[in-house]
């Protein structure tokens, strides 16, 4: 199968591309605009694979999208290209509306035009897989509010109630994808995942930010009391799940993907500190505790901050046989070790030097 992956130089997208090329026989067309969070260094290990092609294209460019479909003739689309950082969406929602909603519309239209002209056998086999987030569901009751009670989880039928410009833009794109199946018959699949973590994540998200700040002796910022709960999913487990869905999922279905790891943000930061205390002990001034946990700083909470997300991944486990391979403890240790071993990569993505070196200073 030849798969067009949008956003394939991003954090989750690059994990999907590496998995497809390293662990399957599928071919990949990686389409990425290469904004600040897209980095080709995450794909160096597979860039010479004869089954790999890269296209630097913005999904909002309708002409270029039509060219890509006509040239590469994909059998499926895995749509991961998105603006995804909640804080950035609060500061400036325009880019999120443009990429996540308008871009998805343009991609859908290019895919629909291409799909409608395929021979019947290829038309029946074609798939459009839209990768979304659990944040579209809003938030769930918190244990502090209902002590001792069994708390609900997000299921595939949970009503949408997005809280941020980011999650609202993703909710809008989800609705577009489903409408394109209902109205036009485009064979779509939708997945909604929990918080991802792992190698190659841009250092603005919680886990890499805490790791790198700790190593530099900087404050470890936590919103409010750090009581917000998230379900954490190791990115390589997510990549495996996505490939299961695109190859074996039923068109028209939604699959929730979670890691079975509900943790408060404060618990996550303390777990990172404990691993760093073991692997790279911090030297403190005489008479002071040397633990990295002493760098924890509580800051004002962000507007509209959801308190709890939690995924029921029973459907994908029952129907497609997928389960996460990593526990939170094993996945977090791998992640911390990767950032310790790849601090130069972090420097490259933060200052943009790698992109300029590969693509030329005027390319991005």
Q: How far apart (Å, rounded) are the C-alpha atoms in residues 160 and 139?
A: 10
Give the confidence band of 285 by pLDDT, cuts at 50, 70, 90: low
DSSP 311: B
Specify the pTM: 0.94
Here the tokens at position 102 are 């308008």
> At residue 111, does pLDDT exceed 90?
yes
Percent of the residues in the chain that have a pLDDT greater than 70, as a whole number: 94
> At residue 324, does pLDDT exceed 50?
yes
| Start-to-end Cα distance in the chain | 30
Set 134, 231, 236, 262: catalytic member: 134
Higher pLDDT, 290 or 309: 309
Q: Which string of DSSP letters, residue by residue, matches 114-161? A: HHHTS-HHHHHH-EEEEEEEGGGG-----TTTSTTSPPP-B-TTPPP-
Per-residue pLDDT, averaged over 199-225, amounts to: 94
Whole-number average pLDDT of the chain? 93
The per-residue pLDDT for 252 is 98
Coil vs helix vs strand at 238: helix
Give the confidence band of 357 by pLDDT, cuts at 50, 70, 90: very low
Q: Is 255 a catalytic residue?
A: no
38-85 confidence digits (pLDDT tens): 889 999 999 999 999 999 999 999 999 999 999 999 999 999 999 988
Give the confidence band of 286 by pLDDT, cuts at 50, 70, 90: low
The per-residue pLDDT for 18 is 98
> At residue 343, does pLDDT exceed 60?
yes
124-181 confidence digits (pLDDT tens): 999 999 999 999 999 999 999 888 889 999 999 999 999 999 999 999 999 999 999 9
> At residue 359, does pLDDT exceed 80?
no
| CB contact burial 315-334 (16+ within 10 A = b; e otherwise) | bbbeebebebebebeebbbe
Instruction: Give the residue among 262, 294, 38 at the shortest CA–CA distance from 17.
Output: 38
Domains located in the chain, CATH noted: 2-359 (3.40.50.720)
> At residue 360, does pLDDT exceed 50?
no
> At residue 270, does pLDDT exceed 60?
yes
Per-residue pLDDT, averaged over 268-291, amounts to: 88
The per-residue pLDDT for 355 is 46
Per-residue pLDDT, averaged over 250-257, amounts to: 98
Q: How far apart (Å, rounded) are the C-alpha atoms in residues 109 and 167?
A: 22
> At residue 345, does pLDDT exceed 80?
no
Set 52, 105, 166, 292: catalytic member: 166
Give the confidence band of 203 by pLDDT, cuts at 50, 70, 90: confident
Q: Is 317 a catalytic residue?
A: no
Set 135, 139, 244, 306: catalytic member: 135
Give the confidence band of 361 by pLDDT, cuts at 50, 70, 90: very low
The per-residue pLDDT for 362 is 29
Q: Where are the alpha helices (DSSP H) in 197-342?
A: 206-215, 235-248, 265-279, 314-320, 328-341
Q: Is 236 a catalytic residue?
A: no
Per-residue pLDDT, averaged over 337-360, amounts to: 68
Per-residue pLDDT, averaged over 111-121, amounts to: 98
223-236 confidence digits (pLDDT tens): 999 999 999 999 99
Coil vs helix vs strand at 2: strand
């Amino acid at each position: 199968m030849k798969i067009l992956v949008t956003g394939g130089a991003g954090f989750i997208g690059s994990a999907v591309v590496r998995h497809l090329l390293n662990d399957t026989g599928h071919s990949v067309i990686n389409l990425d605009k290469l904004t600040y969070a897209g980095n080709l260094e995450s794909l160096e290990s597979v860039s010479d694979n004869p089954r790999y092609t890269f296209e630097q294209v913005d999904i909002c460019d309708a002409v270029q999208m039509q060219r890509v479909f006509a040239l590469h003739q994909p059998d499926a689309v895995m749509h991961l290209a998105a603006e995804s950082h909640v804080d950035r969406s609060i500061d400036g929602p325009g880019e999120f509306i443009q990429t996540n909603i308008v871009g998805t519309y343009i991609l859908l239209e290019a895919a629909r035009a291409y799909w409608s002209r395929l021979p019947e056998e290829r038309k029946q086999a074609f798939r459009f897989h839209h990768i979304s987030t659990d944040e579209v569901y809003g938030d769930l009751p918190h244990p502090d509010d209902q002590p001792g009670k069994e708390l609900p989880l997000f299921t595939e039928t949970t009503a949408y109630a997005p809280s941020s410009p980011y999650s609202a833009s993703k909710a809008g794109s989800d609705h577009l994808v489903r409408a394109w199946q209902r109205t036009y018959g485009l064979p779509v699949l939708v997945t909604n995942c929990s918080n991802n973590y792992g190698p190659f994540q841009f250092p603005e998200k919680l886990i890499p930010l805490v790791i790198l700040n700790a190593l530099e002796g900087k404050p470890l910022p936590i919103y409010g009391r750090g009581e917000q709960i998230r379900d954490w999913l190791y990115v390589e487990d997510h990549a495996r799940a996505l490939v299961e869905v695109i190859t074996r999922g039923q068109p028209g279905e939604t699959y929730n993907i979670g890691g079975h790891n509900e943790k408060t943000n404060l618990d996550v930061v303390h777990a990172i500190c404990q691993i760093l205390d073991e692997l790279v002990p911090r030297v403190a001034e005489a008479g002071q505790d040397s633990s990295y946990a002493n760098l924890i700083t509580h800051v004002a909470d962000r507007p509209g901050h959801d308190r709890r997300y939690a995924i029921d991944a029973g459907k994908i486990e029952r129907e497609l046989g997928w389960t996460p391979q990593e526990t939170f403890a094993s996945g977090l240790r791998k992640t911390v070790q990767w950032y310790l071993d790849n601090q130069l990569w972090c420097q490259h993505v933060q200052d943009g030097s790698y992109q300029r070196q590969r693509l030329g200073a005027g390319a991005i």
